[in-house]
Structure 1
Amino acid sequence: MKNVSILGFGWLGKSLAISLLDEGYTVKGSTTSEEKLELLELNHIEPYIVDISDFEEFDDFLNADILIIAITSKDIDGFENLIAQIESSSIQKVIFISSTSVYGMLNRVITEEDEVLKTPLTEIENLFRENTFFETTIIRFAGLFGDQRHPANWFKNGRKIPQPKGFVNMIHKEDCIEIILEIIAQNCWNETFNACSNHHPTRREFYTIAKLSNDVEVPEFEDTDIYEWKIISSKKVQEVLGYTFIHDDLLSV
């Protein structure tokens, strides 16, 4: 299982591809942009143009053992077409990158057993989960940060930050990549995992420290009596994979 195709060469997909290469995997990568093909080649990744909304055939790209889906598309028809092609390909395992946004604000700790919102994303999750031609593990990542994606740069131009009493659910890119590598290495399939730092400071505390530590003005917060929050639990991914988060102090970002 050393041949991996990554659908999506964005902020996460690029770093993931490089990490997989370092681990000895052969990696194919896809983009929807002709301009990124050279970047893929420069990183020793076999490049492909793939847009699932175009309903083209992706036979060569899907000639691999594992497919990692790291795109933000919510095109259900496009994913149905992709799945049909996976069924007739050599792909045996799929990792589908999802989001903890599938959970509503329930004002309590959220686990994988909790009910999810009815959205295109949860419908797409189910398309993969219910397919019997291949095995899928779904990872619901919390808010993503790392490298140039720093929370000090969010809520600019006088935008007030909502829900200051709510709690932060975040995960660093390095932890995202390591969790994916562990799932592959441990052959952990047919699972759904939340992936989020164990640290949940309030939004007021988190964004104030993030901005001050980067010499940005103290942010303004919305003043509201409505108190909506959720705390995402990553207990399962830690117990099943034996995973320890690298970036587990969100006030030192």
Structure 2
Amino acid sequence: MTTHQALRCGILGFGYLGRPLAQKIYEQGGAVSALKRRISSDDVNLPLDLEAADLNDPAVFQTAFWQRWADKTTWFCLLPPSALQDYAGTLRRWLALAEQSGVQHIVLTGSTSVYGERARLCDEHTPPEPQTEAARQILAAEALFWASRIPHIDILRLGGLYCAERHPVSRLSGRGRLGGGARPVNMLHRDLAVEALFQTALNPQGKRLRNIVEPAHPTRAEFYTAEAAKLGLSAPDFDPADRTDGKIVTSLYA
């Protein structure tokens, strides 16, 4: 088993998940190289190797900073499809770079959106039913990773992410007659997502797929009402006449 002192990681996407993940790895004695689109004032003097580049430019993969990733045994891809003009194409080039560098372990964050919206119980054996272009792009990227020559691949399909600083309830606060209040949620607090990513990096074991979702599945009305109260926001008003059901995503693994 890898120890956290030995973790040497590259992080593609130094943002909502990448920054706290890098901090956790550093605090546990690891080393991090990370890439983001542009450097901000918050990034100055961070204790890691941080570079800014536009991944939409194919020439980015010929730049010298990737040499500093070559000694990193685990690479993370935390970018959503919305971050790239050609999601699968860009990740294909990044994967080729990883293979050339002899990377042993890659962790890709996906999404439970690949299961679609049909009401059913979904686990890792459930066939995907993507209904959005983003979900279809995620599935295409997953296929690339499965087919790669990297010996250890982990695909983590994350539930809906939230935390106090960036919470989806802020967009719903005070709104009325919202639909889907009876549908169950498949949520994941950012802290739990970061912990799952960290633990996955510690234990490479071949090619694996995992759903990472909180075990509780309250209705949307219950979840967002409770979360609004925690944050001191006005609760959204869901239409009680809308009783449509939705999927519940679980995992077969601890």
Same fold (TM over 0.5): yes
For residue 60 of structure 1, what is the aligned residue in structure 2?
A: 67
Q: Does 1:210 align with 2:227?
A: yes
Equivalenced residue count is 235
Q: Distance between the aligned counterparts of 2:92 and 2:210, measured in 1?
A: 22
Q: Distance between the aligned counterparts of 1:160 and 1:26, measured in 2?
A: 49
Q: Distance between the aligned counterparts of 1:91 and 1:143, measured in 2?
A: 29
For residue 110 of structure 2, what is the aligned residue in structure 1?
A: 98
Q: Counterpart amino acid of 1:51?
A: D
1:105 and 1:228 in contact (8 A); partners too: no
Q: Distance between the aligned counterparts of 1:116 and 1:49, measured in 2?
A: 34
Q: Does 1:169 align with 2:169?
A: no
Higher relative contact order (CA 8 A, sep 6+): 2
Q: Which of 72, 79, 86 is the aligned partner of 2:98?
A: 86
CA gap 1:61/1:78 in 2 versus in 1, 3 angstroms = farther
Offset at 1:22?
Answer: 1.0
Task: Tell me the TM-score normalised to structure 2 length.
Answer: 0.84
User: Structure 2: which 5+ runs fail to align?
Assistant: 1-5, 131-135
Offset at 1:129?
Answer: 1.2
Offset at 1:151?
Answer: 4.2
2:162 and 2:168 in contact (8 A); partners too: yes
Q: Counterpart amino acid of 2:105?
A: K
CA gap 1:134/1:41 in 2 versus in 1, 3 angstroms = farther
CA gap 1:172/1:51 in 2 versus in 1, 3 angstroms = same
Q: Which of 14, 18, 24 is the aligned partner of 1:9?
A: 14
Q: Does 1:25 align with 2:27?
A: no
User: Structure 1: which 5+ runs fail to align?
Assistant: 239-253
Q: Counterpart amino acid of 1:216?
A: L
Task: Tell me the TM-score normalised to structure 1 length.
Answer: 0.85
SS in 2 for 1:11: coil
Higher mean C-alpha displacement, 7-16 vs 146-155: 146-155
Matches of residues 16-165 of structure 1 in structure 2 within 5 Å? 16-33=21-38, 35-36=39-40, 39-55=42-58, 56-57=60-61, 58=63, 59-63=66-70, 64-73=72-81, 75-118=87-130, 119-156=136-173, 158=175, 160-165=177-182
Q: Distance between the aligned counterparts of 1:71 and 1:233, measured in 2?
A: 23
Q: Counterpart amino acid of 2:20?
A: S
CA gap 1:113/1:50 in 2 versus in 1, 3 angstroms = farther
Offset at 1:223?
Answer: 5.7
Identical residues among aligned pairs (%): 23
2:183 and 2:243 in contact (8 A); partners too: no
